Structure 1
Amino acid sequence: MPRPASRPALARLPVTRPGLRVGLFGGSFDPPHAGHLHVAATALRRLGLDRVWWLVTPGNPLKATGGLPAPETRMAAARRLARDPRMIVTDVETRLGTRYTIDLVRRLTRLRPGVRFVLVIGADNWATIHRWGHWQEICQTLPIAVVDRPGASLRALAAPAARRYAARRIASDAAAGLADAKAPAWVFLTGPRSSLSSTALRGGARQASPAEG
Structure 2
Amino acid sequence: MPIVARHVLPHAPTGTAVGLFGGSFDPAHDGHAHVTRHALRAFALDRLWWLVSPGNPLKANGPAPMAQRVARAEALMSHPRVDVTTAEAQLGTRYTADTLRRLMQLYPGRRFVWIMGADNLAGFHHWENWRWIMETVPVAVIARPGQQRRALSSVAARAYADRRVLPIRAQQLASMQAPAWCYITIPMRDISSTQLRAAGGWG
Q: Same fold (TM over 0.5)?
A: yes
Number of the residue aligned with 1:14: 10
Name the CA distance, whole Å, in 2 between partners of 1:39 and 1:128.
19
Aligned residue pairs, count? 201
Number of the residue aligned with 2:26: 30
TM-score (norm 1): 0.91
Contact 2:12–2:47, Cα closer than 8 Å, also in 1 = no
Contact 2:38–2:186, Cα closer than 8 Å, also in 1 = no
Misfit runs of 4+, over 3 Å: none
Please state how far the C-alpha of 1:85 moved relative to its aligned partner.
1.1
Does 2:97 correspond to 1:89? no
Please state how far the C-alpha of 1:65 moved relative to its aligned partner.
3.0
Contact 1:57–1:93, Cα closer than 8 Å, also in 2 = yes
Q: 1:148 aligns with which of 139, 143, 154?
A: 143
Q: Alpha-carbon deviations, 1:62-83, whole Å to 9, x = none?
A: 00233x2211110110011111
Name the CA distance, whole Å, in 2 between partners of 1:191 and 1:62.
27
Number of the residue aligned with 2:94: 99
Does 2:49 correspond to 1:53? yes
Name the CA distance, whole Å, in 1 between partners of 2:188 and 2:162.
26
> Unpaired segments of 5 or more residues in structure 2?
none
RMSD over aligned Cα atoms: 1.5
Correspondence 1:1-213 to 2 at 5 A: 8-66=4-62, 68-205=63-200
Name the CA distance, whole Å, in 2 between partners of 1:183 and 1:166.
13
Please state how far the C-alpha of 1:9 moved relative to its aligned partner.
3.4
> Unpaired segments of 5 or more residues in structure 1?
1-5
Name the CA distance, whole Å, in 1 between partners of 2:5 and 2:123.
31
Please state how far the C-alpha of 1:29 moved relative to its aligned partner.
0.6
Name the CA distance, whole Å, in 2 between partners of 1:190 and 1:96.
32
Please state how far the C-alpha of 1:100 moved relative to its aligned partner.
0.4
Q: Alpha-carbon deviations, 1:77-122, whole Å to 9, x = none?
A: 0011111111100000000100100100111111111110000000
Name the CA distance, whole Å, in 2 between partners of 1:9 and 1:128.
33
**Structure number with larger C-alpha Rg:** 1
Contact 2:141–2:181, Cα closer than 8 Å, also in 1 = yes
SS of alignment partner, residue 205 of structure 1: coil
Aligned identity (percent) is 51
Amino acid at match of 1:35: G
TM-score (norm 2): 0.95
Name the CA distance, whole Å, in 1 between partners of 2:178 and 2:5.
25
Name the CA distance, whole Å, in 2 between partners of 1:9 and 1:76.
23
Amino acid at match of 1:59: G
